[in-house]
A and B are shown apart, each in its own frame.
Chain A
Amino acid sequence: MIRHAFARAYLGLILIFLYAPIAVMAVMSLNASEFYALPFRFSTEWYERLFTNDEILAAAWRSVWIAVVVAIIATALGTMATLALWRHDFPGKRILQALLFPPIAVPWLITGTAMLIFFFGVGIGRGTPAVIIGHVALALPYVIVTVFARMQSFDRALEEAARSLGARPLTVARKVILPHAAPGIIAGALFAFAVSFDQFVVSYFLAEPGDSTLPVLIYSAIRKGFTPEINAVSTIIILISMAVMVLAARYAKFGGTR
Chain B
Amino acid sequence: MTGAERLRALGLLAPAYLWLTVAVFLPLSAMAFFSFLTDVPFGDREWAFTFDNYAQALTNPTYATLLWKSLKLAFWVTVWCVVLGFPCAYILARMIKGRSREVLFLLVILPFWSNALVRVFSWAIVLRGNGVLDRAVNAVLPWDVKLNLMFSETAMVIGLVHSYLPYVILTTYLSLQAIDDTVIEAARSLGARFPRILWRLILPLAMPGLIAGAVLVFVPVVGSFMEPRLLGGRVGTTYGTLIEDQFVAVFNWPLGAALSFILLAVVLVILAAASPALRKATT
Contacts and interface: CB of A to CB of B under 8 A. Distances in A.
A200 B1 CA distance: 43
Contact of B25 (A102, A238, A241): A102
Contacts of B244: 109
B113 A234 contact: no
Contacts of A222: 121, 124, 230
Interface in B1-38: 1, 5-6, 8-10, 12-13, 15-17, 19-20, 22-28, 30-31, 34
A231 B125 contact: yes
Interface stretch (B55-63, B83-91, B185-193, B203-211): B83-91
A24 interface: yes
Interface stretch (A41-49, A52-60, A81-89, A151-159): A81-89
A17 B110 contact: no
Nearest to A202: B23
Interface residues of A, number: 83
Contacts of A188: none
Q: Give chain A's interface secondary structure class.
A: helix
Contacts of A205: 247-248
Given A36-B132, A99-B17, A10 B87 contact: yes
Contacts of B235: none
Most buried by A among B125, B226, B243, B263: B125
Most buried by B among A14, A119, A215, A246: A14
Interface in B166-220: 166, 174, 177, 219-220
Interface in A13-32: 14-15, 17-22, 24-25, 28
B88 A120 contact: no
Contacts of B165: 14, 17-18
A117 interface: yes
B93 to A, nearest CB: 9
Contacts of A246: 106, 110
Contacts of B109: 249
B27 to A, nearest CB: 4
16 contacts: A17-B165, A25-B118, A80-B12, A107-B267, A109-B244, A110-B260, A115-B23, A117-B31, A121-B30, A140-B20, A198-B117, A204-B226, A238-B118, A242-B111, A245-B114, A257-B101
Interface of B: 1, 5-6, 8-10, 12-13, 15-17, 19-20, 22-28, 30-31, 34, 40-42, 84, 87-88, 91-92, 95-96, 101-102, 104-111, 113-119, 121-126, 131-132, 135, 162, 165-166, 174, 177, 219-220, 222-226, 229-230, 240, 243-244, 247-248, 253, 256-257, 260, 263-264, 267, 271
